Amino acid sequence: MESTKERGQLIIIGGAEDKEGDCQILREFVRCAGGTKAKIAVLTAATSEPRSAGETYTRVFERLGVEDVRVLDTIHREDADDPENLKIIEEATGAFFTGGDQALIIEHIKGTQLDALLHQRNREGMVVGGTSAGAAIMPDLMIIEGDSETNARMDAIEMGPGMGFLHSVVIDQHFAQRGRLGRLISALLQQPANLGFGIDEDTAVVVDGDEFKVLGRGAITVVDESEATYDNLDELLKDEAMAVCGVRLHILPQGFRFNLKTRKPVFSRSIELRDSNPKKEAEVERE
C-alpha cells in the first residue's frame, strides 16, 4: 500500500559540521528522522575510510539518543544491490551520506536498486541528509571537481550526474571557507540550472516542500541567474573568463528561509526591511 506521508526533508550540509558540541545540525537531522525513535542508516560510499566514518557518525547519533544506527558500506557496486543493505533502507527513517569524494557515491550507488529505494523511501517520508560530498550529490547535476578561489571560467569546473534528490539547482560546499563563488557561477552558466546554493561549513539547508530554512554558524549564498541580462558564453574559449550581468545574490544566515518556487527569501513579520523602497519590499515573500 502506498504511503500517504509527505516527502521527507533533505538536510544538506556544507561540511565540517559540529560533531562534538551541541551538534545543532545533526540534532535537527535526528529530530526530523523521528528523534529517539529514529532508525538511521549511515552511507559511507564517498569515503576511503568507511569504517572510521561509520564509527564517527554512529557515536554522534547514539549520543543524541538514537538507539538504532546502522552503517551501510558500498565498497563495491554490487553491495548496492545486496538484500541486507536494501533492508536497512527499507526500515530507516533517515539516510545520511558522509563526506569524501562525491564521484564515488555516483560510481557505487547511482542506477542500482539502492538508488531507486532511497528515492522511493524519501517520497514516503524518509529524511535524506548529506555532508560535503554527501551534499554535492543532492541535485540532478553536481560539481565533480573544480578550482577554488578563482573567477568564473569555462574550465573552472567539471560537472556530472548527481543523485537527483533536488531539481534545478547546483550545490557547492565548504563555500566561504574555500572561496568558491567563481566555480559556482561557472557551473550555473554552463548547466541547465537557475539556482546555485553555496553552503558554508557547519551550515545546512533543510529543504521541506517548496522551502528551505538555514541552520548553523555560517550562511547560504543563493545565486539566481534565471533573469540574467547578459553573458558572454558564445564568445569564449575554454580557458577564458566569463562575464554575466543581472544575477541575483542572496546571503541567508541561520533562521532565514527561501521559497524555491518564487525564488525569493521569506521574511517573518518581525524582520524590518532596511530598504524602504515599496517596489523592492513587494518583491519579498512574507509569511
Q: For residue range 31-54, what is the model confidence (pLDDT) as tens digits?
A: 999 999 999 999 999 999 999 999
3: number of Cβ within 10 Å: 11
Pairing of strands 203-208, 10-13: antiparallel
Out of 132, 270, 272, 287, pick the active-site residue: 132
Helices (H) and strands (E) in the chain, counts: 8, 18
pLDDT at residue 282 above 50? no
Q: Is 23 helix (H, G, I), strand (E, B) or coil?
A: coil
Average pLDDT in the 202-206 region? 98
CA-to-CA distance for 181 and 151, rounded, in angstroms? 8
Write down the pLDDT at residue 4.
37
CA-to-CA distance for 191 and 185, rounded, in angstroms? 10
Out of 17, 28, 201, 225, pick the active-site residue: 201
pLDDT tens across 141-193, in order? 999 999 999 999 999 999 999 999 999 999 999 999 999 999 999 999 988 78
Write down the pLDDT at residue 212.
98
Question: Is 186 among the residues known to form the active site?
Answer: no
Q: Tell me, yes or no, if the pTM score tops 0.85.
A: yes
pLDDT tens across 94-108, in order? 999 999 999 999 999
CA-to-CA distance for 137 and 143, rounded, in angstroms? 8
Q: Classify domain 151-287 at the CATH class level.
A: alpha beta
Q: Give the confidence band of 284 by pLDDT, cuts at 50, 70, 90.
A: low
281: number of Cβ within 10 Å: 12
Out of 174, 227, 283, 287, pick the active-site residue: 174
The answer to whether the CB of 72 falls within 8 A of the CB of 105 is: no
Question: Is 201 among the residues known to form the active site?
Answer: yes
CA-to-CA distance for 73 and 261, rounded, in angstroms? 36
- Ranges in the chain annotated CATH 3.40.50.880: 1-137, 151-287
What is the distance, to the nearest Å, from the Cα of residue 170 to the centroid of all Cα atoms in its chain?
A: 9
Helix residue ranges per DSSP H, 131-240: 133-136, 181-190
Task: Answer yes or no: CATH 3.40.50.880 is held by domain 1-137.
Answer: yes
The answer to whether the CB of 96 falls within 8 A of the CB of 130 is: yes
Write down the pLDDT at residue 283.
53
Size (the chain), residues = 287
Contacts of 171 (CB under 8 A, 6+ apart): 12, 135, 136, 138, 139, 142, 143, 196, 197, 199
Question: Is 132 among the residues known to form the active site?
Answer: yes
pLDDT tens across 216-251, in order? 999 999 999 999 999 999 999 988 999 999 999 999
Read off the C-alpha cell for 188: 550555473
The answer to whether the CB of 58 falls within 8 A of the CB of 71 is: yes
Write down the pLDDT at residue 280.
52
